[in-house]
Each structure stands twice: as structure tokens, then as C-alpha cells.
């Protein structure tokens, strides 16, 4: 499979479902008695994987490296008091490359520094950042210039940029090979239909041969981000997300959550009438560990031409102003 060629890793394991990739990979390594440090903004699949692993989870504030360091210090204290147990407790850190809920990047260089200092293994979920971030789309490791060998495992879903079904895990053979026997979603499940695997291979080949797609994507993402900021100025709508991310979240500032809900829905409907499709981001609110903020998701891609971007932004501006001005019922 060309995955490991793409990210220059030793081995890759392919799953047939994006959700199952992450939810099976984490319990294969972390068992009862281990400790996992996870960001509060991780997505639901990771949360299910953490729950299935039965380890102790320590949550740190989203993208807050100091909070993580504080938790690591506490753990180090415990280890000093009890070196025997410490020698058996495996430590992991789970972060996402590009967070789905807030559309911002993780601070990878600082996390790698913490990894070496406190001897914690790091797993990165690159579902949204693979094929998006980095000069040739290889993910956050390329973007930040971190050596891929140092990252213990990268998990990604093929359902986003690659537009196929399934997911994969890449890393060193030492780590990834273990999943062939102990990853539940791999051993006890059917493999990906050859049609979709071929589609994914083709997509990777295109990614390799047409690096100009990424320059176009980055240009579109940047212009969208700045354009949205300008378009939503003066209304209660705000843009959330990093400049590099083609997915932006639009939130509404109001103390009452019902009004927020209503206004976001009205924005989606209004834009639908003007032939622009955006969507409400949907979460399973009761099951999430930390309820995420309500938002609308606005996405762009590398194939959008400049006129389309301009048209979309102007429509969004008009719609937002109209929705903001309507009185609440």
C-alpha cells in the first residue's frame, strides 16, 4: 500500500471504517493500569477508544501546553514515590492534528519536547489534517518539520480528504505490527472492498503527482478565513479556526443557547435559499465527554475558483446580516 511511501514510515495497517480505526487502535496498546493524557477537544471516536481501553484518562485543556505539563508533573511525582508501579505504567498522549471541533492545529513541537522530557508516547489523529496541512499534504509532521519516526503512531481516516472509506495507522513496524493481531477492528472484521481501496490508492497517487492542489487549497483557505472575518464583522457571528484550515466554524455570540441554536439554523436555511450549502455541526451531545460549542461548519476545497469564493463570501455576508437583524421570537 502506498501509504507508508507517502509518509515515509515503515508500516501501515488499513481498516475498513474510519471510526473503528481510532477506536480499535488505542485499546490495542493501552490497557487497564496505564495512563493516557488526552486533549479535551478530541473527537468522539477517540473518546470511545479511550473508554474501551479502560486506562486512566487525564484530560488537559484544549491546546494548553502548560496544563499538560502540570498534569505530567503530577504523574512524575507519583512515579517518584512509587518506582515499582511506575516501571509498569505505560504513558500515552493523544492529540489531533487538526481538531474537528475547533479547526485549529495542535502545538506539535512543544508536545514533542514534552514527550522526550517525561517519556510519554504520542499518538496523533490526523483525520482532518492528512491531505490538508503541510507543503505536500503529509500532515502536521511535515508542517512543523518534526521527524515522523519520532511520532509513535499516526492514525487517519480516509473518509475526509481522500474521499474513500476506511482508515489507516502508520508508524514504525514495531508499533504498528502489533495491531495485526490485537486490533479488534482489524482481526475480527471484514476488510475494505477492493473498489474503495483502489480509489484511495488513486487519490494518493494524484496527491503525489499534483502538489499544486495544496497551494490552491492553502490560498483558498486563507482567503476564506480572512473573507469570513470581514463578512461577519458587525454581526454577532464569529469565525473560529486557523488560517490553514479549509474548515471554519461559525459561532454566534449570545448568552442564551436556544437563541444561538435558532440563529445558526436560520443562517443555514437562509444560505440554502441562496444556493450555498453549509451545515450545522452535529454532535451526540449526551455522550460527549465535554459538550462542544454549537457552530456551523463552512468548508472550502482546492477546486473552488476565485469567483466562487467571492460569491460565497458575499452571500454569507448578506445572509448573516439579515439573520442577525431579525428579532428573536
Partner 1 sequence: MAETLTLPATLPFDMDNEEHRRTKSARIFSKLPFRIHPLSWSVSLKTHSGTKVIQSSDAKGFKANFFSKEKIRPTSSSGNYDTLRKNDISSQSKALENILDVNGNIPTRAENEFEPVSRVIALWCYISWTVLLIFAYFREFLLKIGLEKSKATKELDKQKDFVPLYNSFESLYTRRMYMRVRDVFERPIASVPGAVVKIKDRITQDYCWTFQFTGTETEIINTGSYNYLGFAENKGPCADASALSIDEYGLGTCSTIHEQGQSLPQCKLEKLVAQFLGVDEAICFSMGFATNSMNAPCLVDKHGLIISDEYNHASLILGCRLSGASIKVFKHNDMNDLERILRNAIANGNPKTRRPYKKILIIIEGIYSMEGSICNLPAIIALKKKYKCYLYLDEAHSIGAMGPTGRGVVEYWGCDPKDVDIMMGTFTKSFGAAGGYIGGTKAVISHLRKSSPTGYYSMPMSPPVAQQIIESMSIIMGKDGTIEGEKRIEQLARNSRYFRRNLKKMGFIVYGSDDSPVVPIMLFFPAYCGVWGREMLKRKIGIVVVSFPATAMTESRARICLSAAHTKEMLDKVLKEIDDFGNITGAKWSRRAHLYKDIQIEY
What residues line the site for partner 1 (CB under 8 A)? 10, 16-20, 23, 29, 43-45, 48, 51-52, 86-91, 119, 121, 149-150, 159-160, 163-165, 172-175, 177-178, 180-182, 184-185, 187-190, 192-193, 195-196, 199, 277, 279-284, 286-287, 297
Please state the closest distance from residue 83 (CB atom) to partner 1, in A.
12
Q: Which is nearer to partner 1, 6 or 199 (CB)?
A: 199
The minimum distance between CB 34 and partner 1, in angstroms, equals 9
The residue (of 226 and 277) whose beta carbon lies closer to partner 1 is: 277
CB of 209 to partner 1, least distance (A): 20
Say if residues 132 and 161 touch (Cβ distance below 8 Å).
yes
Spatial strand order of the sheet with 91-96 comes to 11-15, 167-171, 153-157, 121-125, 91-96, 35-39, 56-60
Q: Reduce the secondary structure of the chain to three states and give it as a string.
A: CCHHHHHCCCEEEEECCHHHHHHHHHHHHCCCCCEEEEECCCCHHHHHHHHHHCCEEEEECCCCHHHHHHHHHHHHHHHHHCHHHHCCCCEEEEEECECCCCCCECCHHHHHHHHHHHCCEEEEECCCCCCCCCCCCCCHHHHHCCCHHHCCEEEEECCCCCCCCCEEEEECHHHHCCHHHHCHHHHCCCCCCHHHHHHHHHHHHHHHHCCHHHHHHHHHHHHHHHHHHHHCCCCCEEEECCCCCCEEEEEECCCCHHHHHHHHHHHHHHHHHCCCCCEECCCCCCCCCCCCCCCEEEECCCCCCHHHHHHHHHHHHHHHHHHHHCCCC
Least distance to partner 1, CB of residue 32, Å = 12
Q: Which is nearer to partner 1, 194 or 255 (CB)?
A: 194
C-beta closer to partner 1: residue 20 or 68: 20
φ and ψ of 11, to 5 deg: -145, 150
In angstroms, the CA 327 to CA 329 distance is 6
| Min separation Cβ 325 and partner 1, Å | 27
Of 192 and 313, nearer to partner 1 (C-beta) is 192
Sheet with 247-252: list strands edge to edge.
237-240, 247-252, 296-299, 279-280
Decide whether 55 or 317 has the Cβ nearer to partner 1.
55
Q: Which residue has the cell 489534517?
A: 129
CB of 54 to partner 1, least distance (A): 9
Given the complex with partner 1, which of 40 and 90 has the nearer CB atom?
90
Q: How far is the CB of 121 from partner 1 (least distance, A)?
A: 7
Closer of 49 and 134 to partner 1 (Cβ)? 49
Q: State the nearest-atom distance from the C-beta of 233 to partner 1, in Å.
A: 27
Q: Least distance (Å) from partner 1 to the CB of residue 283?
A: 6
Our CB check for partner 1 shows the closer of 36 and 317 to be 36
Amino acid at each position: 500500500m502506498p501509504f507508508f511511501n507517502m509518509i515515509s514510515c515503515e508500516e501501515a495497517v488499513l481498516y475498513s471504517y474510519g471510526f473503528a480505526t481510532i477506536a480499535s487502535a488505542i485499546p490495542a496498546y493501552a490497557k487497564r493500569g496505564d495512563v493516557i493524557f488526552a486533549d479535551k477537544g478530541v473527537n468522539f471516536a477517540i473518546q470511545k477508544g479511550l473508554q474501551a481501553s479502560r486506562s486512566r484518562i487525564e484530560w488537559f485543556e484544549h491546546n494548553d501546553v502548560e496544563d499538560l505539563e502540570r498534569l505530567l508533573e503530577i504523574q512524575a511525582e507519583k512515579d517518584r514515590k512509587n518506582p515499582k508501579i511506575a516501571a509498569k505504567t505505560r504513558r500515552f498522549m493523544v492529540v489531533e492534528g487538526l481538531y474537528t471541533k475547533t479547526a485549529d492545529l495542535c502545538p506539535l513541537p512543544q508536545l514533542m519536547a514534552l514527550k522526550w522530557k517525561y517519556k510519554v508516547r504520542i499518538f496523533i489523529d490526523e483525520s482532518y489534517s492528512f491531505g490538508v496541512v503541510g507543503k505536500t499534504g503529509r500532515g502536521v509532521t511535515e508542517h512543523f518539520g518534526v521527524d515522523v519516526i519520532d511520532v509513535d503512531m499516526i492514525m487517519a481516516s480516509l473518509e475526509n480528504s481522500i474521499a474513500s472509506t476506511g482508515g489507516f495507522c502508520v508508524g514504525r513496524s514495531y508499533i504498528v505490527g502489533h495491531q495485526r493481531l490485537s486490533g479488534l477492528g482489524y482481526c475480527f472484521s471484514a476488510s475494505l472492498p477492493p473498489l474503495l481501496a483502489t480509489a484511495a490508492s488513486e487519490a494518493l497517487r494524484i496527491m503525489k503527482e499534483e502538489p499544486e492542489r495544496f497551494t490552491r487549497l492553502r490560498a483558498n483557505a486563507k482567503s476564506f478565513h480572512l473573507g469570513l472575518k470581514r463578512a461577519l464583522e458587525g454581526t454577532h457571528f464569529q469565525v473560529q479556526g486557523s488560517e490553514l484550515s479549509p474548515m471554519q466554524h461559525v459561532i454566534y455570540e449570545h448568552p442564551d443557547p436556544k437563541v444561538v441554536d435558532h440563529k445558526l439554523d436560520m443562517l443555514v436555511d437562509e444560505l440554502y435559499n441562496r444556493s450555498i450549502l453549509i451545515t450545522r455541526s452535529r454532535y451526540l451531545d449526551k455522550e460527549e465527554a465535554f459538550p462542544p460549542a454549537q457552530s456551523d461548519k463552512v468548508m472550502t476545497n482546492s477546486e473552488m475558483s476565485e469567483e466562487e469564493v467571492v460569491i460565497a463570501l458575499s452571500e454569507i455576508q448578506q445572509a448573516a446580516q439579515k439573520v442577525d437583524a431579525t428579532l428573536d421570537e
